[in-house]
Structure 1
Amino acid sequence: MGYTVGQVSAFAGVTVRTLHHYDKAGLLSPGERSHAGYRRYDDADLARLQQILFYRELGFTLEEIAEILADPQANALEHLRARQRQLAQEIGRLQRLAEVAEQAIEVQQTGVSLTPEERFDVFGDISFDLSYAVDAQLRWRDSAGHREAMSRAGAHTVEDWRRLMAEAATWRAELLAVHDDGEPADGQRAMDVAEEHRLHVTRWFTPCPPQMHRRIADDFAADPRAFALVVPPSQQRPDLAAYLARAVHANASRHMHTEEPLVRSTDENPDHDGRIAR
Structure 2
Amino acid sequence: MMVKEVAELSGISVRTLHHYDEIGLLHPSRTTEAGYRVYSDEDIALLQQILFFRELGFPLKQIREIINRPDFNRLEAMELHHKLLLDKRARLERMIETLEQTMKHEKGEISMTNQDKFAGFDFGSNPYEQEARERWGDKAVAESNEKLNKLSKREQGDLEREMNAIYRKLADLRHGSPSTEEAQLAVGEWYQLLNRLGSYSLEAFKGLGQMYVEDERFTRNIDRFGAGLAVFMRDAMTEYVDSRQS
The TM-score normalised by the length of structure 2 is 0.51
Q: 1:44 maps to which residue? A: none
Distance 2:66 2:233 in 1: 37
Kept after mapping to 2: 8 A contact 1:175/1:193:
yes
Q: Does 2:126 align with 1:126?
A: no
Note closer, same or farther for the CA distance 1:164–1:228 as it changes in structure 2 (3 Å cut). Answer: farther
Distance 1:147 1:165 in 2: 19
**Structure 2 counterparts to residues 1-278 of structure 1, below 5 A:** 59-60=29-30, 63=33, 93-95=67-69, 98=72, 105=80, 124-126=120-122, 130=127, 132-137=128-133, 139-140=134-135, 142-180=137-175, 182=176, 184-203=177-196, 205-227=197-219, 231=222, 233=224, 235-237=225-227, 239-256=228-245
Per-residue deviation, 1:232: 5.8
Per-residue deviation, 1:173: 2.3
* Per-residue Cα deviation, 1:142-170 (whole angstroms, up to 9, x for no partner): 43112222333334321121110121122
Note closer, same or farther for the CA distance 1:92–1:179 as it changes in structure 2 (3 Å cut). Answer: closer
Per-residue deviation, 1:254: 2.0
- Give unmatched runs, 5+ long, in structure 1: 1-57, 65-89, 258-278
Question: SS in structure 2 opposite 1:208?
Answer: coil
Note closer, same or farther for the CA distance 1:145–1:91 as it changes in structure 2 (3 Å cut). Answer: closer
* Per-residue Cα deviation, 1:25-70 (whole angstroms, up to 9, x for no partner): xxxxxxxxxxxxxxxxxxxxxxxxxxxxxxxxx9445649xxxxxx
Question: SS in structure 2 opposite 1:95?
Answer: coil
The TM-score normalised by the length of structure 1 is 0.46
Kept after mapping to 1: 8 A contact 2:223/2:229:
no
Kept after mapping to 1: 8 A contact 2:187/2:236:
yes
Kept after mapping to 2: 8 A contact 1:118/1:158:
no
Larger Rg: 1
Task: Give the letter for the 2:191 counterpart.
Answer: R
Aligned residues: 162
Q: 2:57 maps to which residue? A: none
More RCO (CA 8 Å, sep 6+): 1
Kept after mapping to 1: 8 A contact 2:91/2:120:
no
* Per-residue Cα deviation, 1:47-102 (whole angstroms, up to 9, x for no partner): xxxxxxxxxxx9445649xxxxxxxxxxxxxxxxxxxxxxxxx9984427827956
Distance 2:92 2:69 in 1: 36
Per-residue deviation, 1:171: 1.1
* Per-residue Cα deviation, 1:116-163 (whole angstroms, up to 9, x for no partner): 799768862236674x344434x2484311222233333432112111
Q: 1:19 maps to which residue? A: none
Kept after mapping to 2: 8 A contact 1:145/1:206:
yes
